[in-house]
Structure 1
């Protein structure tokens, strides 16, 4: 009950929200024994929070990092994830990216959460990660989603993007001003242009 009350009060529009969810998640001792569905419903009133909880767990699982010892994640120890479970994780990881407020100087952990989520997304669905990020970017553009596309190109994941995604980033870069434009320019210069020079894909 205490955990639920804390989770449902979190304002995802504010910097540090993902860190706040993460700290609460770290305090739940029984996590390794819960299924993805049970983790998703830890805060029944907030599906967005439930999704982020799943996304954070997926990040830790695929990075094999603390605070969770996922060799003891009994529900999945001896079998693969189902397609429904994979989709639940993909949605959660996308939400981790969307609500990591990289545009704010107060959000010191945003880049780490985005990077971890990208690793997990690529391991779960390497063939769909670009399309999933682009779909979210078209629905509700954020700097974090643009940054994630940059990581997809420039940080030893996919190593390239399609011409359509390049044109979408170029569209944002050519806007007069603002965070989305600035972020897209950085991604095009530091990630897309750099990787295209090494292994041309555009």
Structure 2
């Protein structure tokens, strides 16, 4: 029996995954959760064979969760399901050594067979995503600049970031300004949008 934890923040899609997998005699859904934090708790509790993770979830996203699983040395297979064919996301997923990376619009039969294939030791990537592996674009942002944009994406102001990281407002503005120059945009919101689209945040 292949024991699966599903982490997906869209309730309807999460329920659909669980219901369809329940029809398979060799697959058991041991938990279905709406965010990364609950997923991490469920994974540690149930120690599933396969973790089916959405990328963009509250609290802990799917890629961060994959890294947590690897750092903890848990033996479960990791499958990312996403609506985003972003090269940056795929590169991060490969770095976390995930076994599956699938688009959500794949047929359910493809997902079910992919679960069985990763249990046999294979790696499964949606055909439409495979091309993204060859489209790698180096991230020009430093770790600090990336952090500034990530916090900006969360709605934090210059003062918020300054207080949170114990930096002067001028230092925060300098990091953001450099990030904007590197991405050739006129505003921090545009910088966030581009960096996010490329999977760098």
- TM-score normalised per structure 2: 0.31
More strand as a share of residues: 2
Is the radius of gyration larger for structure 1 or structure 2?
A: 2
- TM-score normalised per structure 1: 0.31
